[in-house]
Amino acid sequence: MKRLPIDGLNHVTPPASPIVEATLELVRDVARRRFADYPGDWAGFAAEGADTLVTAADIEAVEGKLLASGHRFDWSASISAAERPEAYKPAAGAEDASDFSFEHPQAVIAPGDDAGREQRGVGDNVVRHEKNVIGTARYIRSNARVLAYLTDGVPPGTIAVIDDSGGTLTAPIIEQFTGVICAGGSVRSHLGILSREYGIPCLMNARVSGLRDGDRVEIEATAQAKTTEDYQTGTERIGRIWRLPAEDIR
Amino acid sequence: MSPRHLAFHGLAIKRLADASAVAGLVGLPPAVVSSELAKAVATGRAMEAKGGFTLAPLARVALEASYGGLYGDLREDAAFEAAYQRFEVINRSLKQVITDWQTMEVRGERVANDHSDDAYDAKVIDRLAGIHEKIEPVLKALAAKLPRLGIYLEKLTEALEQAEDGDIEWVSDIRRESYHTVWFELHEDLLRIMGTVRDE
């Protein structure tokens, strides 16, 4: 493997700030990969290769990864936050009230039934439970939210709405969920395995629409579990997801 | 590998853990990990919550970007790569076995396994033992190139033996180093080394 001159210098003290360290590591990672593709040695790469081989898109990807971690840059002129709200810390008071919803093209929805339950989607039940479960839908898709829940605890009655079927993001707080709606994976995914182990009702491969943070939801945990054979034969076996009237607390 | 890297790497795999759990995973003295994690908290690289530590998001980004430089040679090593691919194949069977451990077919329906049927459980544990037999040479091949990975075979063997001796919590219980817990961590470790992402 071709190395950067700085690789392996263990005596290099880490940068003081986490954002500087993350940026440097990401830029080095790009340089390392581009250098690997360059036929010559480091001196040649530094003198002539780097300018063309490391592209603007590479550096945009570096910024993208920093932002994906939840980091927002400080700004000195508020025009920065106005022009690129996704990259900068919001101006005071501009914190967004989340109106986000998963919108799956195959979400099976239905108008309200007698109890006022409005079907907002379906998913694959990982195991059948005795009772359906009711709680408050909370999207958990950012590190910031996981960390806040880790520190302050997950609010009671939380039905986590997530899209990470490996459980990578939510693993440390999964135990505190009342239910899980996961937009990906299958009943054999790691998240499926974890939720069964904790006895938490969970629908995987969920196809939902119009389900927003704070909605009261009911998961059909009593639905039959989807089986390996069902996936192989394409058999439809689903658990339903309803949005409940706000005042409905059972 | 620097102690700082190993401590961060172990913490990333464990997600939320104390110093001794991280130390046991990456083969460092607990005191060394304690000191690294204390420094990490002081410099904004980690947070302490609910009796454990967790990596800060930017520290996770930096860690993930560093793997290419640290494990580039391993990624290009044909024997290591072949063993890793073998792991991924066996991993699919493992997930099926764990699912069959947690659920069973009763009158044509998949229901939670309440572990009242000893014969059923014994059969699944037998299948787990079969997987263990297959993964043993794979883990030895991996550890031949990266010795610290040898710890996983020790832990998996320990969990399987406990389960075979009748303590069935050792199959998949999340609160201990059960077979599935250790396997999950092993998978996470390998994904990081190879620079790939979990498919589900």
Task: Specify if A11 maps to a domain.
Answer: no
- Judge: A197–B172 Cβ closer than 8 Å, yes or no: yes
Q: Which domain holds residue A49?
A: 18-69
Task: Flag whether the pTM goes above 0.80.
Answer: no
Nearest to B68 among A24, A32, A175 (CB): A32
Q: Is A197 on the interface with B (CB under 8 A)?
A: yes
What is the residue whose two structure tokens read 């998240």? Answer: A191
For B3, the closest chain A residue by CA position comes to A10
Task: Assign residue A156 the CATH number of its domain.
Answer: 3.50.30.10
Same domain for A121 and A177: yes
Name the A residues in 207-246 with CB < 8 Å from any B CB.
224-228
Cβ within 8 Å of residue B130, ≥6 positions away: none
Same domain for A140 and A62: no
The H-assigned helical ranges of B15-76 are: 19-26, 30-42, 57-75
d(CA A132, CA A18): 44
Q: Is A132 on the interface with B (CB under 8 A)?
A: no
End-to-end CA, chain B? 29
Q: What is the pLDDT confidence band of residue A93, given thresholds at 50, 70 and 90?
A: very low
Of A69, A91, A111, which residue sits at a domain end?
A69
Burial of B38 (0-12, 13-18, 19+ CB in 10 A): middle
Name the B residues in 55-74 with CB < 8 Å from any A CB.
56-63, 65-66, 68-69, 72-73
- Judge: A69–B60 Cβ closer than 8 Å, yes or no: yes
**pLDDT the model gives residue A76:** 67
Same domain for A92 and A46: no
Task: Specify if A4 maps to a domain.
Answer: no
Q: Is A135 on the interface with B (CB under 8 A)?
A: no
Task: Specify if A238 maps to a domain.
Answer: yes
Number of Cβ within 10 Å of residue A76's Cβ equals 6
Same domain for A221 and A113: yes
pLDDT in tens, B107-159: 888 889 999 999 999 999 999 999 999 999 999 999 999 999 999 999 999 99
Interface test with B, best of A9, A143, A145, A229 (most B CBs within 10 A): A143
Total domains in the fold of chain A: 2
pLDDT in tens, B1-37: 899 999 999 999 998 999 999 999 999 999 999 999 9
pLDDT in tens, B69-114: 999 999 999 999 999 999 999 999 999 999 999 999 888 888 899 9
Task: Specify if A2 maps to a domain.
Answer: no
Helix axis angle, B179-194 to B57-75, nearest 10°: 70
Task: Specify if A75 maps to a domain.
Answer: no
Which phi and psi (to 5°) does residue A21 adopt? -65, -45
Same domain for A190 and A118: yes
Chain B hits for A71, Cβ within 8 Å: 57-58
Nearest to B180 among A143, A147, A193 (CB): A193
